[in-house]
A and B are shown apart, each in its own frame.
Chain A
Amino acid sequence: MSDEAVQAVAKAVERRPILGGVAADEGYWAALETGEFRMPRCPDCGTWRWPAHYRCGHCGGWEQEWAPVEPVGTVYSWTRSHYAFDRTQERAEDVPYVVVLAEIPAAGGARVLGVLAGSEDGLRVGAPVSGTIEAPSAKSKGYPSIRWSLDTAARSEEAS
C-alpha cells in the first residue's frame, strides 16, 4: 500500500475503532453524523438488508444504497442492564439502563439497537417507539447513535 493508503486506513480506524461483526455499516454511522437515519437497501432488487452487507444475498448485487427512513417502529425486545460490562464501562454511571431492539417496518422489519431515552413508562414488547439522533460521546464510543423513546400517545393509551 502507498503511504497515502496506509494513512487513509489509519484515519478510518481511528474514526470507527470497533472492528467486530460484518462491519459494512459505515453508511449508517456517516448518515447519523449528518443528522439522518438511513438504512441499507439493494438498489437492484430493493431488498432491505440489515445488518448491512457487501453483497445482496437475494439478487447478487454488489451495490448498497443508504435510503432515508423515518426512525419509527415498535419494541421488538429490550433489556434493562444492571451491571456495567467490561467493554461498555463508559455507561457505568447510567446503570441501570434500558436498551431497546426496535423493529422498523419502513426498513423491511430491520431491528435496530438503541439506548432508551426518556420515560420507561409503557415499556413492553410491541410498544411504539421513535428515534432521535445523539451526537458522538464517550458513552457511544465516539460514534453517533440513535436513541429510542416510547411514544407518548401510546403511553397515555396504556394508562387509560
Chain B
Amino acid sequence: MSALRGATAVVGIGQTPLYKRGTSPDPELKLCLRAIVAACEDAGIDPRDVDGFVSYGLDKNDPPKLAAGLGTRELRFSAMNWTHGGGIPGAVGLAAAGIVAGQADVVVVYRAIAESAGQRLRVAVAQDDTAAQYLVNGIDGPAQMCAMRTQRLLAEGVPRETLRAMAMASYQHAQNNPDAVAYGRPLDEAAYDSSRWISEPYHLFDCSRESDAAVAVVLVSAERARDLRQKPAYLLSSPTGATGAAAGLEENHTPYGSANFGSVARRLWSESGYGPSDVDVVQVYENMTGMGVAALIDHGFCTPETAGEVLTLKNLTAPDGGLPVNTSGGNLAEGFIHGMSLVAEAVRQIRGTSCNQVPGAGLSLMTGGPGDPLVSSALFASDSRL
C-alpha cells in the first residue's frame, strides 16, 4: 500500500459557470480566482490559508499571480504536472504528496481556460508541441490523432456502437444538470448517426465542447478533513505514468488502440487495494468518445471482446446502470474545462450530491486525458471504503 493511500482528501470544490468558448465575461485569471475562492468557501477554509498550488497542461495562472488576489499568507508549495489532460489526476496526487511530505497544509488543484487569454482552446491545449510530422501531413487537432487510434481499435473488433453509447450517456446525464452546456438538448440515436463527420470515425457528437471556465478543488490531510464541513472524498491512489514510453510519441506508441493507461491502471488497483468491479462510478475524460472507450478497457472494466456488451447506454447511465460514467455530462455534454470538472464530479459522487447520483457511491474513479504520452487516474473513496 502506498503512503498516500487515504492520507488526504478533497474537502472543497469550486466551479465557475461554463461559457461558450470566447464568451467569458471574466479574463482567465479572474475565472481561476473565482473557482479557487468558491472551493475554499465550499470547504469552509479562508482562501488566505491556501499554501500550495498545483496545475497541469501549461496552465498560465501561476501561483504568484494568484497569491496577491487570494491574500496568501505564505506560499509554500507549487507543482505542475506535465502533459495535457492526461495529467489531471496526477496533479491531485502531487497535491497529496506535498501535504503528506509536510510541504503544505492546504493545496488547491486548478485549471482555468478562456479563449480571450490567447489561442483557440484546442490549439492552446496542444501547447505548441505538435510535431512537424503531424502539421506537414494535414494533422492538427487531437480529434484527428485520436481518430486514427480509435479507427485501429474498431478494426481490432470493438463495436462502433460503443462510441454512440458513450456520447448518449453523457448527453442523458446532462439533461439533469442545469449548468451543462447540453442541458435541454437531448441526443438520440438518429441525431448522433446523422451528425456530420469531423474526422472518421468521429461524428460531431463524439467530440468534446470547449468552454471558458475554471474549476478548483482543495485538499488537506485526512485528519484535518474530518473537522471540516463537507464529507471528505479521500484520495486512495493517483498514479501518473506511461506505457511503452520509449517510443510513445507521434503515433508510435504500443498498444496503439489503447489510451496508454496499462501501467497506470495496474498501479491504481495495486495501491488502492480495489479492482474495477469494486468501483461505483467513473468520470472518464473523453476528449473523444473512442478514447473514453479505450480508457475503460485499459482500466479493466471490459475487454475489447466484451466492450459491446458492457458499454451500452443502459449500463453507462445512472442511477441503474452497472457502470455509470460522466454523471454531470462530462467533457462532451457538460463542457470541456480541460477535463478538470470531472474531478469535481467524482467528489460530488462521494458526497452524494451529484445531479445523477449513484446511490451509496463509495468508490469514485476519475481517469485523465486518454492517449496522452503521460496519463494518470485517481480513485476517491468515502470513509467507509478506506
Contacts and interface: CB of A to CB of B under 8 A. Distances in A.
B175 to A, nearest CB: 27
Given A51-B249, A86-B122, A79 B147 contact: yes
A66 interface: no
B251 A81 contact: no
Given A77-B256, A79-B199, A99 B140 contact: no
A40 B251 CA distance: 16
Interface in B58-73: none
B353 interface: no
Interface stretch (A4-12, A138-146, A152-160): A138-146
Given A21-B133, A87-B130, A77 B249 contact: no
B252 A110 contact: yes
Nearest to A142: B136
A67 interface: no
Given A18-B131, A22-B249, A85-B144, A77 B151 contact: yes
B123 interface: yes
A143 B132 contact: yes
B198 A20 contact: no
Contact of A86 (B134, B141, B199, B247): B141
B342 interface: no
B13 to A, nearest CB: 32
A57 interface: yes
Interface string B140-173: 1101100111011001000000000000000000
Interface residues of A, number: 45
Contact of A51 (B133, B197, B200): B133
B135 interface: yes
Interface in A62-99: 76-83, 85-88, 91, 94, 96-97, 99
Given A51-B131, A57-B246, A101 B136 contact: no
B382 to A, nearest CB: 41
B226 interface: no
Interface centre among B122, B138, B200, by most chain A C-beta atoms within 10 angstroms, is B138
B135 A141 contact: yes
Contact of B199 (A18, A25, A80): A80
A19 interface: yes
Contacts of A97: 138
Interface string B94-134: 00000000000000000000000000101100001111111
Contacts of B149: 77
A85 B147 CA distance: 14
B46 interface: no
Given A77-B151, A79-B148, A85-B143, A25 B197 contact: no
A90 B29 CA distance: 34
B137 A114 contact: yes
A140 B128 contact: no
A141 B136 CA distance: 6
B135 A82 contact: no
Contacts of A19: 128
Interface centre among B120, B141, B249, B250, by most chain A C-beta atoms within 10 angstroms, is B250
B3 interface: no
Nearest to B130: A20
B196 interface: yes
Nearest to B246: A57
A125 interface: yes
A48 to B, nearest CB: 10
Contacts of B196: 82
Contacts of B198: 81-83
Nearest to B122: A86
Contact of A113 (B123, B137, B247): B137
A78 B151 CA distance: 7
Contacts of A112: 133
A153 B196 CA distance: 33
A51 B247 CA distance: 7
A125 B135 CA distance: 22
B131 A81 contact: no
Interface centre among A77, A78, A99, by most chain B C-beta atoms within 10 angstroms, is A77
Contacts of A86: 120, 122-123, 140-141
A81 B136 contact: no
Contact of B138 (A22, A50, A81, A111): A81
29 contacts: A18-B136, A19-B128, A20-B134, A21-B132, A21-B134, A21-B250, A22-B250, A25-B133, A51-B131, A76-B256, A77-B148, A79-B199, A79-B201, A80-B200, A81-B199, A81-B200, A82-B196, A83-B198, A85-B141, A88-B140, A99-B139, A101-B251, A111-B252, A112-B133, A113-B137, A113-B251, A124-B155, A140-B136, A145-B136
By Cβ-Cβ distance, the 5 closest A-B pairs, closest first, are A21-B131, A85-B140, A79-B147, A18-B132, A125-B155
Given A81-B199, A145-B137, 18 more contacts: A18-B130, A21-B133, A22-B250, A23-B131, A25-B131, A49-B247, A51-B247, A76-B256, A77-B148, A77-B256, A79-B151, A80-B199, A81-B147, A82-B199, A83-B198, A85-B143, A87-B130, A113-B251
